[in-house]
Amino acid sequence: MLLSFRGWCSFIQYKPAKLVKYGLKLYDMCNSRMYYVHNSEIYCGKQREDPYFTWDTLFNIIKRLVQPILGSHRNVTTDNYYTVYPLAHFLLENGVTFLCTMKKKSPQTFWI
C-alpha cells in the first residue's frame, strides 16, 4: 500500500504508475471480514547494520506481520508478490493456512 505523503521524509517512495505517485510504503495485514488493519509495518528503505537492524525480505516482513495470529488456525491470503515456499511452510508449521496466487512462469512458483 502506498500512503499519500508529500512532506519531507528520508524514505519516501516514488511510483510513477500509481495514482498517488509519492508516499510512504506500508505492509499491512488486514481483516477481510471487518475491513480493518490488524498489523502494519512501514518500509524504511535499505537499513544499515546497527542494533535495530531487521531483514526486509518478504519472508521476514510477513513473519513479523502475522506474529499475533500464529497458532490461531486462521488463513493468510496473498497475491503472487508474496508467494514463496518457505513462507507457506512456516505458516503451516505454526497453525496458519496459506492461500496465494501464482504466476505460471514465475521463478518463485512452487508445487506441493
Which range of residues forms the domain containing residue 29?
Answer: 1-45
Residues 64, 102 share a domain: yes
Say how far apart CA 9 and CA 30 lie, in whole Å. Answer: 25
- Please list the residues that pair with 30 across neighbouring strands: 37
The count of C-alpha atoms lying within 13 angstroms of the C-alpha of 57, restricted to the half-sphere facing its C-beta, is 8
Q: Which amino acid is at 38?
A: H
> Which residues, at least 6 apart from 102, have a Cβ–Cβ distance to it below 8 Å?
80, 83, 108, 109, 110
Q: Is the dihedral of CA 56, 86, 32, 103 positive or negative?
A: positive
* Tally of domains within the chain: 2
Residue-level pLDDT, tens digit, the chain, 112 residues: 788 888 888 888 888 888 888 888 888 888 888 888 888 888 777 766 767 666 777 888 888 888 888 988 888 888 887 778 888 889 899 999 988 887 776 665 554 4
The answer to the question of residue 111 being in a domain is no
Residues 40, 63 share a domain: no
